[in-house]
Amino acid sequence: MYFNSVSEALEELRKGNPILIFDAKGREEEVDMVFYAGIIDYEKIYRLRVEAGGLICYATLYNLAEKIGLKFMSDILSSHDAYREIATRRLGYGDPPAFSLWVNHVNVRTGINDIDRAYTVRKLHEVFTKVWNNNVNEAKKIFYSEFMAPGHVPILLSRGLDKRRGHTELSTTLALLAGLVPSIVLAEMLDKGESLSLEKAFQYAKRNGIVIIDGKSIIDYWLKSGQ
């Protein structure tokens, strides 16, 4: 089993094709299916739902999200006495969670079907593209007038690879390395009863002609890039 190169993954991301990312042994040891959010449509959401099977999330950078007032949900909950204890616990791999708000766009019907989630994701991409281009006031106005929470699309915020090395950080860093807005849609690859094994993920990637890379390769590439 051999991982593809980061260069191959960057090219596939730019083309709007899915890539698979394995984080690391000793961490979650999970493989996520990843798309660039700038080209998302309901067929890609369907593929994430059916072929990946995990929670479909939108991911961007914390330092972009904070410009429009978004915070980590664990920080929001920790500010309330009733939730502080549960909000400060950690899972076995130790990292703090990346979750912020869960949202729907106000124009969707129920928020959960593939068309609805694709629409919400596209609108989130538009918001954070505006933030990326320093149109923060416009982005903030759109976000707070056109979205509702709670909803069916979780927003994940990257702390950066210098602080955390999960799929949120790995995938958004990959977008940056590709010269794209750090705006990603991803979901864990699941098997019956458990996460999809790395061996089965390689088989899936080979069968479907999909690039699969590991976190270490992304980190090494990022360090060499000087970003």
Domains defined along the chain, listed by start: 32-194 (3.90.870.10)
One-letter amino acid at 38 equals G
Give the pLDDT of residue 90. 83
pTM: 0.96
pLDDT tens string 201-224:
999 999 999 999 999 999 999 999
Residues with catalytic annotation?
32, 57, 93, 104, 152, 188
Long-range contacts of 107-112 (CB under 8 A, 24+ apart): 107/146, 110/152, 111/151, 111/152, 111/153, 112/152
Mean pLDDT of 89-111: 91
Q: How far apart are CA 165 and CA 194, in angstroms?
A: 22
Average pLDDT over residues 93-105: 91
Each residue's pLDDT tens digit, 112-129: 999 999 999 999 999 999
Q: Which of 182, 206, 201, 183 is nearest to 23 (CA)?
A: 201
- 3-28 mean pLDDT: 95
Q: pLDDT digits over 30-83, tens only?
A: 999 999 999 999 999 999 999 999 999 999 999 999 999 999 999 999 999 899
180-207 pLDDT, tens digit each? 999 999 999 999 999 999 999 999 999 9
